Amino acid sequence: MIRRLWLRFVQHIDVPLLAVLLPLMLAGLAAIYSASGQDLGMVMRQMVNMSVALLLMWAVANVPPQHLARFALPMYLLGLLLLVGVALFGEVSHGARRWLHVGVTRIQPSELMKLAIPLMLAWFLERREKTLNLKDFATAALMLLLPVGLIVKQPDLGTAILILASGFYVLFLAGLSWRIMLALFLAGVASAPVLWSVLHDYQRQRILTLFDPTQDPLGSGYHIIQSTIALGSGGSFGKGWFKGSQAHLDFLPERTTDFIFAVYGEEFGLLGNLLLLVLYLLVIGRGMIIAIKAPTLFSRLLAGSITLTFFTYAFVNMGMVSGILPVVGVPLPLISYGGTSVVTLLLGFGMLMSINTHRKLVQT
Amino acid sequence: MNQRTELKNHQQELYYFSIRLAIGGVFVLVLFGFLVARFVYLQVVEHEHYETLAENNRISIIPVVPNRGLILDRNGVILAHNYSAYTLEITPSKAGVLEETINGLAEIIDIAPRDRKRFKKLLEESRNFESLPIRSRLNDVEVAKFAANRFRFPGVEIKARLFRHYPKAELASHAIGHIGRINDADLEALEENDDMANYKGSDHIGKLGVEQKYEKHLHGETGFQQVETDAGGRAVRVLSQRPPISGSDLYLTLDSRLQDVAEKAFGQFRGALVAIEPKTGEVLAFVSKPGFDPNLFIDGIDPVNWDALNNSPDKPLNNRALRGQYPPGSTFKPFMALAGLELGKRSPSYTISDPGYFTLPGNSHRYRDWKVGGHGSVDLHKSIVISCDTYYYGLANDLGPDNIFNFIGRFGFGKKTGIDIEGEVSGLLPSREWKMKRYKQKWYAGDTISVGIGQGYNLATPLQLAYATAILANKGVAVQPHLVRSILDNKTGQTATMPLRIAGGQPFKEENLERVRLAMIDVTLPGGTASRVGGGAPYLVAGKTGTAQVIAIKQNEKYVESRVAERHRDHALFIAYAPADDPKIALAIIVENGGHGGSTAGPVARQILDYYLLGKLPKEVAVTEEDAAVEESDHD
């Protein structure tokens, strides 16, 4: 009886995926514990965040993909509406308008879009599956660019890039022709000067700083200088847990959130970094297997996009901390402190699990 | 067959998808490969370099605070500058028991109870790792004494710092404002504007007035030194540096000598004065009396001085010129007269017979003139010269609230002038919509009547009154008033003059302006309500007196100044521009509880005009109470 209940409970959990996610989250807790100066309270809070996220993941995993598809349009429209709301009535914090007050709490609608975009585009392209043509791709691209534009405007370049990437992956996997991608790429290069003029001063500064961090050692260059020192001084095997001097001497900014990788890399060294990359690769590999096995175009595109977006998170964050990408506010997936990001990520993995575990039911 | 094609299609589709996904996989591996390469570079190849940086010789970056820009008047007289001096500073987190440390310090260096209180207040407002000043301006002996005893006081240091100083103290304090220590609210604002980096090392920020508004220009760019430090944190050598760039110097539109004449002219009276050059909008004098000494605020004001300033019934911290709202009273009449002429509701020859009151048709309520029995027959000219209320009751009724709102609005009433300091209030020019919104009531004919003589709901700041007068002097063209004339950028060495900002406005008809001007000139000549202003002057002054009631007088009561407590006496108002034929200065004066416009505010105006137009300094500086009392009969 209990056994049957248990089986019922775990029936939609993808065990291999979960088996990689859990060690990743454990590594995150370990890094937070050290980065916060051994603040157990912070670790506990993150554990609560993770538990909530896992529960939500389980819930989503139990929803069949065809039901998930039904949420695509409403979620997308709601997200769009909220983004417009932010643009009009949003609360300004740190010079950016990202939050919207809803009754007692405030929400960040761009977070919703991270899931709504792959859902929406995958759903839309599946509906056009039989007659998929250039016009459909153009429509999908428009659906993507509308919210991305609003988010760039906030301004939240990091989130905009992630959402743009997640949408692009759907289009790419759906077979967007190489010629068009090349054309878009060239158009992008050609319009770079225009984009440059639209960027906010601080965004430009961050890109300039990337090429020469010493230009602005008190501002954004400071982050990069300090985080590369942290990583570099970690060496092959790291200084050991709690022993990172950069992290603990207050040299590192945002060291429990966006820059946690510097703490991790200083304390666990190259070995730790490679281990982390391997864990990420395992997650990505499992996601790709789920995508390939997925029975419908919708679920294939969704699974592929979620997987590649997860990779993008990890790459952008580690690239930023190690100084090969500009500083954009992207947390290190499953490692950085913060509830929103872990919930969004695990909701995505819940969808992967749903796709994988409902496969047989669809086929029969 | 059909099914087979579909299956085939499905197979093909899956095949394409797999290829795309595989490409995605390669993309992932390549980019992760970059990361691995970067990690190897940082952590293996360059490991020693970074280890050295992190472990043995830590690099620290020391911000070098720039000199704050100077503030000067239009003639280059310094109003705010910096000087270097020593301060004794305590870092609470390193100092052990604070009370003991301070007591110990007090044995070798003079520390007044005032210093202790101020320190306590700073401590409450700051975070622990900041170093806070306990004594400033140490002399050489004190520095030497502390140096000899330094070992006894961990966490206490002597620092050479730049201090802001306002050499003219109270002069124009409400316009210049002051700086103060950066508090949490300032930090938040800096963070929002992404300015934190530039304020590393800065302790102070503009809090009020020009110091606040032009913070961006005044602050300058923080430089830095990248230094190698030993294990003890002492700088071993400088690796690289960028010198700071001093903030820009501000040249104000104020004329500090004119300002001085104006402030002294107020004597013991409270009030405000704003003088503007009509053609340029340059604010020549900006007075709010009493003022305060901005030097007190720089390092946190001590509680004794704070209480004295904050609790004084004279409210010296209140910027009356910018934020004081007064009914414009009879100074409203020239604008109303022009409205009557421009909108064709009055001709210059139109004459009323004034019985001393006005009644609305079908209503027995009497709107009384200030003069019992009335002024006899009154035309437009006379209505301004002797300030006839009855004339304007009727005119207001004929114009109606909408015309008044639209026309008078062109003079900037009811709107912020947009002057370049923070905190301006907008006054009030009432309209039907406003009343409905504010009181949920419709507009009554009676409301219009009192608005017509600048009473009722009307409210204006002295700045607005001066602005309106400047617009009138400038024939209807509004030039936004401003306090900063030019900015000297210390980086480029170039001076940028602030552009004129024409706020709008079409010129009025010359003949109508002439009518009002002639009447306003007669106001300041013998026979007018401000005969002391223009009498005997070699230039012509166009002016208008006014009175703003402080307490309401009941329908059957008479206001007798001597019976009313000093603080309940009427405020005296006066507006003027001169020379009347080619205005170089327009001003508005409010003398609180000064009685009638002509008697107290008028003489202040005369001193300013004499100084500004003739360079003549007043022989005897202040108007006295007696002066005002003598002219009691000279009513508004």
Written in H, E and C, the secondary structure of B371-398 is CCCCCEEECHHHHHHCCCHHHHHHHHHH
In a domain? residue A56: no
In a domain? residue A12: no
Q: Does A318 touch chain B (CB under 8 A)?
A: yes
Which residues does chain A have within 8 Å of residue B16's beta carbon, measured at their own beta carbons? 175
Distance from the Cα of B39 to chain A's closest Cα (Å) equals 6
Query: What pLDDT was estimated at residue A97?
Result: 60
Q: Do B50 and A284 touch (CB under 8 A)?
A: no
Portion of chain A with pLDDT greater than 90, in percent: 47
* The three-state (H, E, C) secondary structure of B338-380, written as one string: HHHHHCCCCCCCCCEEECCEECCCCCCCCEECCCCCCCEEECH
Report the chain B residue with the minimal C-alpha distance to residue A286. Answer: B25
Who among B16, B20, B50 is closest to A232 (CB)?
B50
Residue A248 has pLDDT above 70, yes or no: no
Distances (CA, A) of A308 to A140, A304, A329, B165: 18, 6, 19, 60
Distance from the Cα of B8 to chain A's closest Cα (Å) equals 13
List beta partners, residue B62: B225
Q: Does A333 touch chain B (CB under 8 A)?
A: no
The answer on A223 and A284 residing in a single domain is yes
Q: Does A364 touch chain B (CB under 8 A)?
A: no
Q: Does A274 touch chain B (CB under 8 A)?
A: yes
Helices (H), B502-575: 510-523, 531-534
Query: What pLDDT was estimated at residue B515?
Result: 94
HSE-CB for B404 with a 13 A CA cutoff: 32
Report pLDDT digits (tens) over B525-581: 988 888 888 888 899 999 999 988 776 555 555 566 665 667 778 889 999 999 999
Q: What is the mean pLDDT of residues A91-107?
A: 60
Return the number of CB contacts < 8 Å for A and B.
133
Distance from the Cα of A174 to chain B's closest Cα (Å) equals 7
Q: Does A323 touch chain B (CB under 8 A)?
A: yes
Q: Do B24 and A308 touch (CB under 8 A)?
A: yes
Sign of CA dihedral B294, B295, B298, B300: negative
Of A175, A199, A223, which residue is a domain's last? A199
The answer on A152 and A212 residing in a single domain is no
Who among A175, A201, A270 is closest to B43 (CB)?
A270
Q: Does A152 touch chain B (CB under 8 A)?
A: no
Q: Does A208 touch chain B (CB under 8 A)?
A: no
SS3 label, residue A79:
helix
The answer on A129 and A81 residing in a single domain is yes
Which residues does chain B have within 8 Å of residue A93's beta carbon, measured at their own beta carbons? 192
Q: How confident is the model at residue A249 (pLDDT cuts 50, 70, 90)?
A: low
- Quick one: tokens of B255? 């004329």
Q: Do A322 and B18 touch (CB under 8 A)?
A: no
Pairwise CA distance, residues A72 & B586, whole Å:
66
Instruction: Output the CA angle A75-A81-A87, nearest 5 degrees.
Output: 135
Of A155 and B207, the one with more pLDDT: B207
In a domain? residue A7: no
Nearest residue to B147 via CA among B108, B180, B176: B108
Query: What pLDDT was estimated at residue B622?
Result: 43
How many independent structural domains does chain A possess?
2
Who among A216, A277, A300 is closest to B36 (CB)?
A277
Distance from the Cα of B21 to chain A's closest Cα (Å) equals 7
Residue A265 has pLDDT above 60, yes or no: yes
The answer on A205 and A194 residing in a single domain is no
In a domain? residue A188: yes
Query: What pLDDT was estimated at residue B557?
Result: 57
Helices (H), B415-530: 432-439, 445-452, 462-473, 510-523
Q: Could you confirm whether B248 is annotated as catalytic?
A: no
Query: What pLDDT was estimated at residue A351?
Result: 95
Amino acid identity of residue B243, one-letter, is P
Of A164, A199, A234, which residue is a domain's last? A199
Q: Does A172 touch chain B (CB under 8 A)?
A: yes
In a domain? residue A249: yes
Distance from the Cα of B101 to chain A's closest Cα (Å) equals 26
Of A199, A221, A237, which residue is a domain's last? A199
Pairwise CA distance, residues B136 & B115, whole Å:
9
- Residue B601 DSSP symbol: I
Tell me the pLDDT of chain A averaged across its residues. 86
Burial label, B507 (beta-carbon count in 10 A; 0-12, 13-18, 19+): exposed
List beta partners, residue B251: B72, B486
- Residue B565 DSSP symbol: -
Residue B185: which residues within 8 A CB-CB, separation 6 or more? none
Query: What pLDDT was estimated at residue A166?
Result: 94
Interface subset of A 92-111, CB within 8 angstroms of B:
92-95
Report the chain B residue with the minimal C-alpha distance to residue A325. Answer: B35
Pairwise CA distance, residues B404 & B408, whole Å:
6
The answer on A338 and A211 residing in a single domain is yes
The answer on A281 and A156 residing in a single domain is no
Q: Do A201 and B34 touch (CB under 8 A)?
A: no
The complex scores an ipTM of 0.91
The answer on A206 and A340 residing in a single domain is yes
Q: Do B28 and A169 touch (CB under 8 A)?
A: no
Q: Does A288 touch chain B (CB under 8 A)?
A: yes
Mutate: best of A131, A137, A156, A218, partner B, most B CBs <10 A? A218
List beta partners, residue B547: B572
Mutate: best of B18, B36, B50, B188, partner A, most A CBs <10 A? B50
Which residues does chain B have within 8 Å of residue A201's beta carbon, measured at their own beta carbons? 194
What global pTM score does this model have? Answer: 0.64
Q: What is the mean pLDDT of residues A316-322?
A: 93
Taking residue A81's Cβ as centre, other Cβ atoms within 10 Å add up to 11
In a domain? residue A306: yes
Taking residue A160's Cβ as centre, other Cβ atoms within 10 Å add up to 21
The answer on A168 and A205 residing in a single domain is no
Who among A273, A291, A297 is closest to B39 (CB)?
A273
Residue A188: which residues within 8 A CB-CB, separation 6 or more? none
Q: Are B631 and B623 in contact (CB under 8 A)?
A: no
Which residues does chain B have within 8 Å of residue A251's beta carbon, measured at their own beta carbons? 58
Which residues does chain A have within 8 Å of residue B25's beta carbon, measured at their own beta carbons? 284-285, 288
Report the chain B residue with the minimal C-alpha distance to residue A272. Answer: B39
Q: Does A249 touch chain B (CB under 8 A)?
A: yes
Q: What is the mean pLDDT of residues A93-120?
A: 73
Which residues does chain B have within 8 Å of residue A97's beta carbon, measured at their own beta carbons? none
In a domain? residue A355: yes
Q: Are B380 and B392 in contact (CB under 8 A)?
A: no
In a domain? residue A363: yes
Taking residue B200's Cβ as centre, other Cβ atoms within 10 Å add up to 17
Query: What pLDDT was estimated at residue B214?
Result: 95
Who among A95, A249, A280 is closest to B193 (CB)?
A95
Query: What pLDDT was estimated at residue B628?
Result: 39
Burial label, B236 (beta-carbon count in 10 A; 0-12, 13-18, 19+): exposed
The answer on A194 and A241 residing in a single domain is no
Distance from the Cα of B437 to chain A's closest Cα (Å) equals 23
Catalytic residue among B248, B330, B387, B431: B330
Residue A155: is the preceding peptide bond cis (ω within 30°)?
A: yes
The answer on A218 and A124 residing in a single domain is no
Q: Do A229 and B20 touch (CB under 8 A)?
A: no
Query: What pLDDT was estimated at residue B608?
Result: 93
SS3 label, residue A54:
helix
- Residue B221 DSSP symbol: B
The answer on A122 and A79 residing in a single domain is yes
Query: What pLDDT was estimated at residue A246?
Result: 65
The answer on A115 and A260 residing in a single domain is no
- Quick one: tokens of B26? 């390669």
Instruction: Decide the pairing of beta strands B249-252 and B71-72.
Output: parallel
Query: What pLDDT was estimated at residue B230?
Result: 56
- Quick one: tokens of B591? 């003398």
Pairwise CA distance, residues B410 & B338, whole Å:
12
- Quick one: tokens of B123? 């401590």
| Range of A213-222, A284-293, B294-303 with top mean pLDDT | A284-293
Q: What is the mean pLDDT of residues A256-275?
A: 92
Which residues of chain B carry a pLDDT beneath 50? 1, 57, 231, 621-636
Query: What pLDDT was estimated at residue B23?
Result: 94
Tell the residue number behind the tokens 């043509």, with chain if given. Answer: A133
Q: Which domain holds residue A156?
A: 63-199
Report pLDDT digits (tens) over A110-154: 888 999 999 999 999 988 887 778 888 999 999 999 999 888 887
Report the chain B residue with the minimal C-alpha distance to residue A269. Answer: B43
Q: Do B50 and A173 touch (CB under 8 A)?
A: no
